[in-house]
């Protein structure tokens, strides 16, 4: 007989050990309450290590004025603290960068739950510890059990004090060593009364609130249990990494064996009671064979069990291997309803476990007296139909045998009867295959083996053939039946995985909620073969109101839950739990509502009307919901980001508009007011002075009107109210009109270079406004003697119009934003900037006429000049 394969180390345990090798060690001195001596013991151990030659450095140690703790520091080196300035105060905090640069062998960092001062790199000290460990530095630290994040509510109920500073449980679980510093509550109270923990006035307040003997006893029990759990985890991890088969009775661990029989939920509840009585961890295991018991596995998860599923042909062997790997000591299983032949031959699972599980305590749960029958939805084929199909398959094989009788030997006709055996086993199961094997053997013997039409077998050769046929038939029935079940399960899983893959591709594509939600409804309807709806919460109107469910997508589009179903949806949305058909809440409702969860809560619901219960479909739908929840949250965040960007741009535009109104309009108003006040106060002014003042007021009024017109034009462009009136336009005439008008008003020459061009369908008034703005801008920024030129030429399929000046040009950093509203390029020649709307208006008007506009700078050698180019399609 072949020797059994030796046990192998668990790969996950080996990976965990390998991951720790590249990080610094963490040792936690854990106590039940302040004053038990955590810091004292840490310093004492550090002094012993320093005396042995180790490089020990104190990063932070809080002595709280205790003389015994101060004395333990002795000559240990101390890292200077960093000074942080906050609101006019200087705060001292742990210097993380100095510790990383110093890189001691052991760093002492007291009070792991401490919150760092504002301005530190990390808000919490435990985050400093994680960075130090990533750098390979070993850290020793202290903490009290009440600072564990998972114990916050329990500590608040016991002591009446809500702990504000907490440490994630994963930090303590990831520590390399946890040392419990423990003293009895009575001794701790004596130390408090003696003033060895707090000052007298603080000690009196503590005795009246936190430091009561009952509180301290409860906290001590929490600390002891945490350390015991940690030791148990260390033992289990060591056994898995070193391939040591258990169980080791160092601590109790309960394993519930969840089968596919109706008593699975009773097994889970019984195992939970045993675990509570033993105060032991609870595990749940299902060995895959038939359809997994989804309800029992969900119940195990809800009761706090660690659920695992494995696939194996040797069910008892797989159970024992898993139990030894997890160091389980108690196995809880149901009696089930095994077949009669299994009970007679001792092949039941309970009998096999009783023989092989010699190292475990085995619990057999009584069979429930009354088990509810699962309700089936939709039309179902009657059970007798599959059994009635078996004789029909054998009859078809018999007809084939009769038709070939004489041409085929009698022994070979037996092979024809193997076909209905295989077909019955694959289509209906192994028991149907066994029935087909029996009927096939009778028909073959009665009709074709001599002497015919009797069940007597005449010769030795026929006896051997009949025996071989019977053995082959039985083997095919059992093996093919199990293979058929496995193929059906595998095919269903493959369909589910394919749907998940296709769905993930659809979710990864572009689009928002309007495209995403119908896809979710469609996939849910396909997975469950029934109607499906997607429900999102409508934000409540007040703080006391609950979110209202709103149907955002449905498949088919006319699927509509009734009012009773929507009440179930409100409950599911409020509590974040499944409700409706097939659940423990409102099971009489025709719809089932499943929450879509992310790390931030429930983003919505999927409502389904499943036609029949199916564990594989449920698992597929669960995967779809997980992906859909993440995709919906991502789409909502993108929409919120887009709204935030739009709000920011609106605020920026509003701010720029107010700034422009406040700054650019103040100058002409001031000039106009000054001119009017001067004319009013000094009626004896000369005629020339009066004319100058009136001319100045007129010019500033024109300037003010131009500012207001620009702002109104910008508003019209932003609102899409500019509709060009296209007509054939001569580009040369448009340039001549705009340049000539500015030349007359400013007295500045403007060079025109226009090639022979065809007429272009443009709006002449809008084009004149654009050219006027560009030429006025060029004259302004080219200086009093700078040349300005307007050109037009044919550029492929476009007509190009350029306005050039020889001014200082546009800085490179301002060039991409030169057409933005209210943007003003920085200048070095002290040229007064305008409102920043001229070029923005030009871009809007050019775009309205179907063209595009660009800016180039520098336009001429020497780094000077600007060229604004417009292009319109011919």
Query: Tens digit of pLDDT for each residue in 301-337?
Result: 777 788 888 877 778 888 888 888 777 888 998 877 7
Residue scoring higher pLDDT (516 or 377): 516
Structure confidence at residue 372 as a pLDDT band (50, 70, 90): very low
> Residues 818-831: pLDDT tens digits?
887 766 655 544 44
CATH number 3.30.70.100 given to 722-873: no
User: What class does CATH assign to 509-642?
Assistant: alpha beta
pLDDT at 299 over 90: no
**Neighbour-count burial of 117, counting CB atoms closer than 10 A to its CB (0-12 exposed, 13-18 middle, 19+ buried):** middle
Please report where in the chains the tokens 């088990």 appear, as a residue: 371
State which of 3-7, 277-281, 814-818, 867-871 shows the largest mean pLDDT: 867-871
**Which pLDDT score is estimated for 488?**
61
Report yes or no: 775 and 854 within 8 Å, Cβ to Cβ.
no
Residues of the chain above pLDDT 70, percent: 74
**Which pLDDT score is estimated for 822?**
64
> Residues 494-507: pLDDT tens digits?
665 666 566 666 66
Cα–Cα distances (Å) from 153 to 55, 160, 176, 236, 599, in that order, read 40, 10, 27, 29, 20
Structure confidence at residue 582 as a pLDDT band (50, 70, 90): confident
pLDDT at 30 over 80: yes
**Which pLDDT score is estimated for 479?**
65
Asked which of 74-88, 345-359, 826-840 is least confident by mean pLDDT, the reply is 826-840
Residue scoring higher pLDDT (230 or 364): 364
Q: How far apart are the C-alpha atoms of 144 and 35, rounded to whole Å?
A: 10
DSSP secondary structure letters along 290-346: SS--HHHHHHHHHTT-EEEEEE-S-HHHHHHHHHHHTT--EEEEE-----HHHHHHT
Other beta carbons within 10 angstroms of residue 203's beta carbon come to: 20
Residues of the chain above pLDDT 90, percent: 8
pLDDT at 156 over 70: yes
**Which pLDDT score is estimated for 56?**
92
pLDDT at 692 over 50: yes
Q: What ranges in 509-577 are assigned the alpha helix state H? A: 513-528, 563-575
Q: 78 - beta bridge partners?
A: 58
**Radius of gyration in angstroms for the set of CA atoms belonging to the chain, rounded to a whole number:** 43
Whether a cis peptide bond, with omega within 30° of 0, leads into 253 is: no
pTM given for the model:
0.39
Structure confidence at residue 543 as a pLDDT band (50, 70, 90): low
Asked if the domains at 12-241 and 254-365 fall in one CATH topology, the answer is yes
Structure tokens at 25: 């060690």
Topology at the third CATH level for domain 12-241: Rossmann fold (3.40.50)
Mean pLDDT along residues 19-32: 81
Asked which of 178-192, 403-417, 679-693, 726-740 is least confident by mean pLDDT, the reply is 403-417
Please report where in the chains the tokens 């500012």 appear, as a residue: 707
Please report where in the chains the tokens 């007429």 appear, as a residue: 759
pLDDT at 683 over 70: yes
Report yes or no: 95 and 79 within 8 Å, Cβ to Cβ.
yes
> Residues 339-357: pLDDT tens digits?
666 666 667 788 888 888 8
Domain parsing of the chain, residue ranges: 12-241, 254-365, 388-487, 509-642, 674-716, 722-873
Topology at the third CATH level for domain 254-365: Rossmann fold (3.40.50)
Ramachandran assignment for 247, one of left (phi > 0), alpha (psi -120 to 50 degrees), beta (any other): beta
């Amino acid at each position: 007989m072949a020797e059994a394969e030796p046990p192998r180390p668990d790969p996950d345990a080996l990976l965990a050990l390998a991951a720790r090798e590249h990080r610094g060690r963490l040792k936690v001195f854990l106590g039940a309450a302040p004053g038990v001596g955590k810091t004292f013991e840490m310093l004492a151990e550090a002094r012993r290590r320093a005396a042995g030659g180790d490089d020990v450095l104190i990063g932070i140690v809080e002595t709280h004025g205790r003389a015994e703790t101060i004395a333990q520091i002795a000559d240990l080196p101390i890292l200077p603290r960093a000074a942080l300035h906050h609101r006019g105060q200087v705060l001292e905090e742990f210097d993380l960068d100095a510790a990383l640069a110093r890189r001691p062998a052991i760093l002492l960092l007291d009070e792991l739950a401490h919150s760092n001062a504002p301005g530190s790199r990390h808000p919490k000290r435990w985050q400093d510890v994680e960075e130090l460990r990533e750098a390979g530095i070993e850290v020793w630290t202290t903490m009290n059990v009440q600072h564990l994040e998972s114990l916050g509510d329990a500590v608040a109920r016991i002591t009446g004090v809500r702990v504000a500073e907490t440490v994630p449980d994963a930090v303590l679980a990831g520590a390399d060593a946890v040392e419990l510093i423990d003293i009895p509550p009575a001794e701790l109270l004596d130390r408090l009364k003696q003033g060895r923990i707090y000052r007298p006035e603080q000690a009196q307040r503590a005795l009246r609130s936190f430091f009561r003997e009952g509180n301290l006893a409860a906290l001590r029990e929490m600390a002891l249990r945490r350390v015991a759990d940690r030791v148990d985890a260390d033992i289990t991890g060591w056994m898995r990494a070193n391939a040591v088969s258990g169980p080791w009775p160092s601590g109790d661990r309960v394993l519930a064996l969840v089968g596919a029989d109706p008593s699975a939920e009773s097994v889970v509840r019984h195992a939970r009671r045993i675990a509570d009585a033993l105060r032991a961890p609870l595990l749940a295991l299902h060995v895959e064979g038939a359809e997994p018991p989804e309800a029992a596995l969900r119940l195990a998860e809800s009761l706090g069990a660690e659920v695992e599923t494995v696939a194996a042909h040797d069910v008892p062997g797989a159970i024992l291997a898993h139990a030894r790997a997890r160091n389980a000591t108690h196995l809880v299983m149901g009696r089930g309803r095994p077949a009669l032949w299994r009970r007679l031959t001792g092949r039941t699972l309970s009998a096999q476990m009783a023989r092989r599980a010699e190292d475990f305590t085995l619990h057999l749960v009584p069979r429930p007296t009354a088990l509810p029958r699962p309700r089936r939805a939709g039309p179902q084929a009657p059970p007798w139909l599959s059994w009635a199909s078996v004789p029909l398959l054998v009859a078809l094989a018999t007809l084939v045998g009769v038709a070939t009788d004489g041409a085929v030997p009698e022994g070979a006709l037996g092979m024809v009867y193997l076909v209905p055996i295989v077909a019955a086993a694959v289509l209906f199961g192994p028991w149907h295959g066994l029935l087909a094997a029996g009927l096939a053997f009778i028909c073959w013997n009665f009709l074709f083996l001599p002497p015919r039409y009797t069940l007597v077998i005449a010769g030795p050769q026929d006896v051997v053939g009949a025996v071989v046929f019977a053995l082959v038939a039985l083997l095919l029935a059992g093996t093919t039946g199990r293979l058929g079940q496995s193929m059906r399960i595998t095919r269903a899983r493959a369909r589910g995985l394919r749907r998940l893959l296709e769905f993930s591709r659809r979710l990864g594509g572009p689009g928002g909620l309007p495209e995403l939600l119908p896809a979710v409804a469609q996939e849910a309807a396909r997975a469950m073969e029934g109607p499906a709806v997607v429900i999102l919460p409508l934000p409540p109107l007040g703080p006391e109101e609950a979110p209202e469910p709103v149907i955002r997508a449905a498949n088919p589009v006319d699927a509509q839950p009734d009012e009773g179903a929507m009440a179930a949806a409100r409950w599911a949305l409020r509590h974040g739990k499944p409700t409706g058909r097939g659940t423990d809440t409102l099971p009489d409702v025709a719809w089932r509502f499943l929450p879509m969860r992310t790390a931030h809560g429930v983003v919505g619901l999927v409502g389904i009307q499943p036609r029949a219960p199916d564990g594989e479909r449920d698992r597929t739908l669960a995967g779809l919901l997980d992906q859909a929840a993440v995709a919906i949250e991502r789409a909502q965040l993108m929409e919120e980001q887009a709204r935030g960007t739009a709000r920011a741009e609106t605020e920026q535009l509003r701010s720029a508009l107010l700034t422009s109104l406040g700054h650019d309009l103040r100058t002409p108003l001031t000039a106009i007011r000054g001119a009017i006040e001067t004319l009013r106060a000094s009626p004896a002014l000369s005629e020339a002075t009066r004319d100058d003042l009136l001319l100045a007021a007129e010019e500033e009024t024109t300037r003010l009107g131009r500012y207001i017109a620009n702002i109104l034009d910008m508003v019209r462009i932003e609102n899409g109210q500019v509709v060009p009136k296209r007509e054939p336009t001569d580009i040369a005439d448009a340039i001549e009109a705009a340049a000539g008008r500015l030349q007359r008003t400013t007295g500045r020459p403007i060079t025109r270079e226009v090639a022979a061009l065809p007429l272009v369908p443009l709006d002449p008034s809008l084009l004149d406004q654009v050219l006027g703005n560009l030429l006025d801008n060029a004259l302004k920024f080219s200086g009093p003697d700078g040349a300005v030129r307007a050109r037009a030429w044919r550029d492929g399929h476009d007509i190009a119009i350029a306005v050039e000046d020889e001014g200082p040009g546009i800085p490179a950093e301002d060039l991409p934003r030169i057409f933005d509203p209210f943007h003003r390029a920085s200048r070095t020649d002290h040229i007064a900037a305008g409102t920043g709307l001229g070029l923005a208006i030009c871009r809007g008007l050019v775009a309205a006429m179907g063209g595009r506009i660009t800016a180039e700078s520098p336009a001429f050698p020497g780094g000077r000049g600007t060229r604004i180019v417009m292009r319109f399609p011919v």
